[in-house]
Structure 1
């Protein structure tokens, strides 16, 4: 069994832990035959129209799907989360008429403009959307190119570069999906891509969305290369925006706040919250539903699991009972590294662990009956382990994605300080190895109590490193502890969908 010493990230790994992944966006259209499912039957009642069959065929014809063959073969397991995870990607692709709205060359490659992971809790009454800044430094795992080959991992790379792998006009949503799975250790159940044109159409259909503008905004703020201030786009105050105006509002980066992508994320979260609030407050009449469904399906590229009107409507209906106040928006724990963004640990690992356990940001168990069963489970044999004052770095020595995040979350729950997670130099470790420097045998033994069967190995240097092996990948996760609140750094900036549009729009 290989056990090379990797005391620091530079010696231990090529970058943050990634599983193998990839994706080629084929953009092919799927036209599924009409199926009389429960979702169809319920929709008949809502629509009350004899033309339903034609409507479904029309909506099916709108929907684009991407090729799931580019997804990783080493994804987190289907049971990695009690709830359901949906990746939402806003793209600035210029194809299909989008260049008229977003500017740029219509032949340019597709890029992700904004991304968030929506976790729908198992009780179907709570949801949280976690934004991932596009400048976040991550490892992009191997991705499939249009010719069928796979790239090598790209450590220390901006997150939004994953969507551009392969440099196709329609982008690479499968690569972004697998990058998120690698980063979080959570399995993404569905991925939805929304483009400029479709986004603008959606806001038109609902009659506009109420947003807060902190200051007068001009054309030059939207395009800092313009040279002149240009015409007034938004006057300060609460405004109703739709179409191009709505698109301009969510895309403006310069000229509002600190001009950062982080600041823009706050406004985007407020906008999505206001859009959800508008749809829920207005309700959907039969006359409203068809235009909204038509606009939505035209704007989306989805994974094959959502590739029909039946599937999309069934999925949407499953969300109808989620309360506005229980719909939260937050951002992955972050810090600046120069002009880029780094993920803050162990806060991020605690966040992903909370979502896996269906724990809300205030510590409530939202897993429904599953949560009750878990709460009554017998405590883990390692329940009394205390890691206070012990620093540990965690490395994934396997090809199974998400292991380092899983182990880091376990260590954090027991009071250890996780100094970082990453991939080991080699991914062929069979057993877990705990490497420790001079004088650290005792704390290393404490760490080992959380990893039954781990081998303790003294090495030259300082610090304690956990190099995870395949035995850890196949071991059943220990029972989750009783729900506790997430770190204040995670919850402090959270927004509820029913918040005032002018509240919580700044990072300081």
Structure 2
């Protein structure tokens, strides 16, 4: 990815594994005053043994108090002495607007069980604004921050599985109009590599760009910079990685610039500090952007496994240290910008076993405009986005991580009133096959699906004259119609093969409305187009969260270590 190497080393400062290792600037907890005559000043009763017993009891009480405070902080309560520490953690959080670019991707409705999948955009920024970042990554960048790491973490609605999809930073995409939340500068839409979106309106612009590219609604974003990566790698005690050959990512006769500086012998290593950052930034030695994404996935999987083996609640001092470091290392979107909300988010992610986590890379191909430097999404990327939008489980090696949502019409009647006669149910069909405002729609698509509904008895189905580009196919009904409206909409869904889980209530719809997305450009059975659980394209380079593996190293970057 280029760069000028790293100057100096990063020293996070000493860390003591004891109950006194609360950050020095954390607010103190006021001591409890004891009643007159029970200790402290004045006349003391009892001999040395009694005095020693009181000291031991006092130490015990202090230990219990610190344990209680740490536990309270762990659950981020706001009562008693823990409140001051909660406020301290809150002061460490950096926040920003969730979205700062134009996007028409709507938040999906909850499924029949009232559950909703969650999508989190994880960004690694190459910002060099702080002294710590400049020290780690060379001179300040005049072009502004770029997104070196772009990942979508998808947590299923039933919280049973998670997928993490990397988008190569050099993928050329349409970046929408964005407004910088801080300077209020407006950036016109452009076609550029996706990592440039960060400097055109912050993480909220990258979020809008990713939503438009994928059709996947992104609930939150989290961003970490160079210094933050180093802090987190150090605070957990290092992360285990592996290379098949010795590696030294440095300038070569073929690529005379850049290189992360990573230098390891063949085998397994526990890396932290600057080495962790070097690992995450290594590209050429691992072959390509796809190789770098795979290395990042290995690192993330290993980090998750490491954290799960550490009993943080059994070590209050360590819990305090990790919590404080995490709060200061990340910048997050406004709506999750409190310690409690971040804790709740972490607890949801923690429920997913590592073998139910799939990490993969967006299928991509060379960009004809710059085949040696940039990418375009490959056709198979549409399958990945459909898996995410429809909350279908995926796992490496083509097997499902859990029971997938129903992808065909139900065979039993839903609860509630029966649907009315098909001939009296109005349906509007919208052509959204362009996918995005700059995409190409399939001509006559709305009319074709309206005719399919006519054949099924829905004679009041009409094709809308207005197109509404949508990456995914949707079916909504007026919320004011209640249970009857839902039953009627399900009847329409059955006629088109749309899953019952895809039927949503809408506060703006005037009639049952089917929007045909870019994922259904041909055919009359939508269910036949849906990917099945575990159908991850081969060129997505998927790996399971339990896979350790070792990275291949390009021959020119090997050394005799």
**TM-score bracket for this pair, using the shorter chain length:** 0.5 to 0.7
Alignment of 1:104-503 (within 5 A): 104-105=139-140, 109-145=144-180, 147-148=183-184, 150-155=186-191, 157-165=192-200, 172-218=202-248, 220=250, 233-254=263-284, 256-258=285-287, 260-284=288-312, 285-337=315-367, 338-339=371-372, 340-345=374-379, 347-361=380-394, 362=398, 364=400, 404-405=434-435, 423=438, 434-435=443-444, 445=448, 449=452, 453-454=462-463, 468=468, 475-476=475-476, 478=493, 479-480=498-499, 481=527, 484-485=532-533, 487-489=535-537, 493-502=541-550
After superposition, the Cα gap between the structure-2 partners of 1:303 and 1:486, relative to the gap in structure 1 and judged at 3 Å, is same
User: Structure 1 regions of 5+ residues with no counterpart?
Assistant: 1-39, 167-171, 380-395, 406-420, 426-431, 437-442, 457-465
Kindly tell me: are residues 262 and 503 of structure 1, through their superposed partners in 2, closer, same or farther at Cα, counting changes over 3 Å? closer
Say if 1:501 and 1:200 are closer, same or farther in 2 by CA, change over 3 A.
farther
Q: What residue number does 2:57 align with?
A: none
User: In structure 2, what is the Cα distance between the partners aligned to 1:229 and 1:149?
Assistant: 34
SS at match of 2:179: coil
Alignment gaps of 5+ in structure 2: 1-68, 415-429, 455-460, 478-492, 500-526, 555-561
Secondary structure at the counterpart of residue 485 of structure 1: coil
Alpha-carbon distance between aligned partners in 2 of 1:69 and 1:503, rounded to the nearest angstrom: 35
Match of 1:386 in 2: none
Structure with bigger gyration radius: 2
Residues 490 and 69 of structure 1: is their aligned pair in 2 closer, same or farther, counting only changes over 3 Å?
same
Shift of 1:236: 1.8
User: What count of residue pairs does the alignment treat as equivalent?
Assistant: 401
- Deviation string 1:230-272 (CA, Å, 9 cap, x unpaired) is 9883222111100111111111223x132x2221111111111
8 Å contact kept, 1:434–1:455 = no
| CA–CA distance in structure 1, aligned partners of residues 536 and 473 of structure 2 | 30
- Work out whether residues 329 and 495 of structure 1, in 8 Å CA contact, stay in contact via their aligned partners in 2: yes
1:77 aligns with 2:107: yes
CA distance in 2, matches of 1:135, 1:233: 25
Report the CA distance shift for 1:493/1:231 in structure 2 as closer, same or farther (over 3 A): closer
Deviation for aligned residue 1:397 = 7.9
SS in 2 for 1:179: helix
Shift of 1:227: 7.8
- Cα distance in 1 for residues equivalent to 2:473 and 2:387: 19
Cα distance change of structure 1 residues 321 and 147 upon mapping to structure 2, 3 Å threshold = closer
Deviation per CA, 1:328-379: give whole Å up to 9, x if none. 100112122212211122x2222222222221115748589x8699866779
Take 1:374 and 1:281, find their aligned partners in 2: how far apart are those partners? 43
| SS in structure 2 at match of 1:104 | coil
- Aligned CA RMSD, in angstroms, stands at 4.2
- CA gap 1:314/1:341 in 2 versus in 1, 3 angstroms: same
Distance 1:316 1:374 in 2: 35
Distance 1:45 1:230, change over 3 A: closer
Assess if the C-alpha contact under 8 Å between 1:144 and 1:150 holds in 2. yes
SS at match of 2:250: helix
Structure 1 Cα separation of the partners of residues 543 and 333 of structure 2: 28
**Structure 2: how far apart are the matches of 1:229 and 1:366?**
40
Using a 3 Å threshold, how does the CA distance of structure 1 residues 377 and 334 change in structure 2: closer, same or farther?
Answer: farther
TM-score of the superposition, structure 1-length normalised?
Answer: 0.68
Q: Which has the higher contact order (CA 8 A, sep 6+)?
A: 1
